[in-house]
Chains A and B, each alone.
Chain A
C-alpha cells in the first residue's frame, strides 16, 4: 500500500513516498520518521508518487511539522493536485511549506 524510500545527507532527511498514506499505512510512516528524524535538521518529503492522503496521514504531517519547526525546516515536493485539494480543504496549506 505504501512504499517508503529514505535517505539522510548532511542533516537533511529525504523521504520519497509511493502509494497511499492512510489509516493502515500512517503508523508505519510515523515510526520511520521518528527513527530517522533524531539526527536530521531538515526534512524533505517527496510526494510525487503519493496518490492519496487520509486524515491519519494529515495527523502525521501535522505532528512532524510541529517537531521540525523547533529545529529546522520541513518541505513538501511534487504534491499532486488531488492531495493539494485535500490540503486546501483541511487548511493544511496554511501551515505546510509546499513547493
Chain B
C-alpha cells in the first residue's frame, strides 16, 4: 500500500512564515526608529544651538553700551591690545587696566558704563574700556564654548552678500594659539573669505534669523545677532553630534532587538500551540486513516478518533473521519457479502448451465449401432443459460422422435421452462402419442401452470425408421429444411399451429413426409436466420440455404459446421442476443447388410 509521508511539515512552513514576519517587522521598527531619532537629533540640536546663541547674545547685551563697544571693536580692531583669556585674580593686564580706569574715574561701575559716559571719556580711556570689555566678553564666550563642548563658537560681521567675514570673537580653549592664519584661532579683526556652503547657511540665517545646517557628524548653526550699519552680525557655532547619534543608534538597536526577541518568543509560543492543538491531532487523524487503509476496521478507527475531543474544526474533522471510516467499513462488509452472494450465484449458474447442457444429447455418433440414419446437433447459447433445445430418442426400435424448440425469453426463467417442456414432450412422446397429440397435451399441461405467460415453439417429428415415413407437427416453430437425395436444401412450408403455452385447448395438425435414403432434414431455431451483424442486418433463411447447399452431400456434422462458419463470417464480432441451435438428420434407409 502506498504510504503518504509528510515530507515538509506544516510547522516548518509556519516557522518560516514567522521568521520572515520577525525580520520584516524588525526592519520596519529599525527604520521608523531611525527616522524618529534623526528628527529628535535635529530638533534637539536646533533648540540647543538657539539657547547657546541666546546666551551669547544676552552676555553681549548685559553691557548697556554694547553697540558702541562693537562699533569701537570693529573700527579700532588693529589698535586694541587684547588679553584673550583672562584668569581672574591673577593680576592680569585686564585687572590692571580696570584699576587704572577706577583710579581715573572714582566710583565708576565698569560693567554698567553707558554710551553717554563713555563719550565723555578721553580716547585713551575709551580704548582701555574697549580692551577690558572685549577681554571679559571673549573670556565669557570661551567659558560657554568649554561648558557646552562646542567645536567652534564665533561671532562675525559680514556684508549683505556674505562674501567676506570679519571676526569679532572666536572662542578657544585656554592656551590655544591665536592669530590670523588658517590653523590658528582667529583674533579680533581677522578678515576671511566665506566658503560657498557656509555662505548659503549664513544667507539663510540672515533671512530667517537662524539656520541649522546638517553636515553629517557635525551641525553648523548660524543666528543673527544684530545688524550694524547694514552689516549683519552673526553668531556661528559648530559642534559634533557623533556621540548623540551613537547613543540614539544604540537605543534604536536595543529597541529593535527587544521587539524582535518579543516576537520570536510569541512565535515560539504560537508554534508550540499549533503543534499541540493542530498538528498532533491532525497526525493522529492521518495515522488512523493509514490504520483504516490497512485493517478496514472502521469501529476501532472511530473509537481512536473519539479521543480528539476538541470542539473546533479539527475535532469535527476527526469525528467526520471516524464516521466516514465506520460507514466505509460497513459498506465494504456489504459489498463483500454481495460479492460472495454473486459468486455463489455464478457458481450455481454454471452448475445449472452444465445440468442444462447435460439434458441435450451431445454424444456423437448418437446411435453407433444404427446405420439407417445419422444425426448431428449443436446448441450455442447467447448467454450461459439458453432457452433453445433439441432432443431425439428412440421411442421403440422403429420409431425415432426428433424435437427442436425455442423458449421465449432468456436466462434462468427460459432454462427452467425449457426443462419442463422437454420432459413433458418426452413423456408424451414415450407414451406413444402422435406428434399433434403430443403437442396438444404438452400445451395443456403447460398452460395450466403458466402464470408467467411464457411459451415455447416446438417442431416435433416421429420417423418410422424402417419405411422413412416422417410424421411431424409444428407449434409456431421455424420452417424445417428438406433436401431430397441429389436435390438441394429447400424450406418446407409446413402447417403451423400456435406456440405451446400460449393458450389452452389448441389443436395441432400433423403431416407426413416420405424420406428416401440420402434425404436430409435440417432443423434450426430463429437464432440462425436472425443472427445479426454490426449493420443490424439479419442472416436470413436465404443465406442459410446458400450455406446448406454449398456441400449438400456432406455428413450432418460437416453441414452444421459449414452453416456455423457462414454465420460467423456474416456477424463477425457483433454480439449475439439469441441462442443458435441446429439439427441435421440424414436418412440412409435400411442397412443393406440386414436385407
Contact = CB atoms under 8 A, between A and B. Distances in A.
B497 A58 contact: no
Nearest to B406: A55
Contacts of B409: 23, 55-56, 59
A55 B497 CA distance: 15
B498 A92 contact: yes
Given A23-B410, A89-B478, A54 B578 contact: yes
A63 interface: yes
B408 A55 contact: yes
Interface in A1-29: 20, 22-24
Which of A54, A55, A56, A62 has the most chain B CB within a 10 Å cutoff? A55
Contacts of A59: 408-409, 453-455
Given A89-B477, A95-B502, A54 B530 contact: yes
A20 B410 CA distance: 16
Given A58-B408, A59-B408, A59-B409, A91 B476 contact: yes
Contact of B577 (A22, A66, A88): A22
Contacts of B457: 55, 89-90
Contacts of A89: 457, 476-479, 496
A52 interface: yes
Contacts of A90: 457, 476-477, 496, 498-499
B237 interface: no
Interface string A55-95: 11011001100100000000000000000000011111011
Contacts, number: 67
Interface string B569-582: 00000000110000
A63 B497 CA distance: 18
Which of A58, A88, A90 has the most chain B CB within a 10 Å cutoff? A90
Contacts of B387: 55
Contacts of A92: 476, 498-499
Contacts of B530: 52, 54
A62 B455 contact: yes
A23 B453 contact: no
B65 interface: no
A69 to B, nearest CB: 10
B85 interface: no
Interface in B488-505: 496-499, 502-503
B475 A91 contact: yes
Given A56-B410, A59-B409, A95 B503 contact: yes
Contact of A91 (B496, B526, B538): B496
A94 B408 contact: no
Nearest to B506: A91
Given A56-B409, A59-B455, A62-B453, A94 B526 contact: no
Given A23-B577, A54-B526, A90-B496, A66 B476 contact: no
A1 to B, nearest CB: 10
A51 B532 CA distance: 13
Contact of B408 (A51, A56, A66, A91): A56
Nearest to B497: A91
A95 B477 CA distance: 16
A91 B478 contact: no
Interface string B226-241: 0000000000000000
B453 A24 contact: no
Contact of B453 (A66, A91, A95): A66
A51 B537 CA distance: 11
Which of B410, B499, B503, B536 has the most chain A CB within a 10 Å cutoff? B499
Nearest to B456: A55
A58 B503 CA distance: 13
Nearest to B503: A95
A88 B496 CA distance: 7
Interface of A: 20, 22-24, 51-52, 54-56, 58-59, 62-63, 66, 88-92, 94-95
Given A23-B577, A55-B406, A90-B496, 17 more contacts: A24-B577, A54-B578, A55-B407, A55-B408, A56-B408, A56-B409, A58-B455, A58-B499, A59-B408, A59-B455, A62-B453, A62-B499, A89-B457, A91-B499, A91-B502, A95-B498, A95-B502
14 contacts: A23-B409, A23-B578, A55-B457, A59-B453, A62-B453, A62-B455, A62-B502, A63-B453, A66-B453, A89-B496, A90-B496, A90-B498, A91-B476, A91-B497
Q: Which 9 A-B pairs have the closest CB atoms?
A: A91-B498, A90-B476, A55-B408, A59-B408, A63-B453, A91-B476, A91-B496, A56-B409, A23-B410
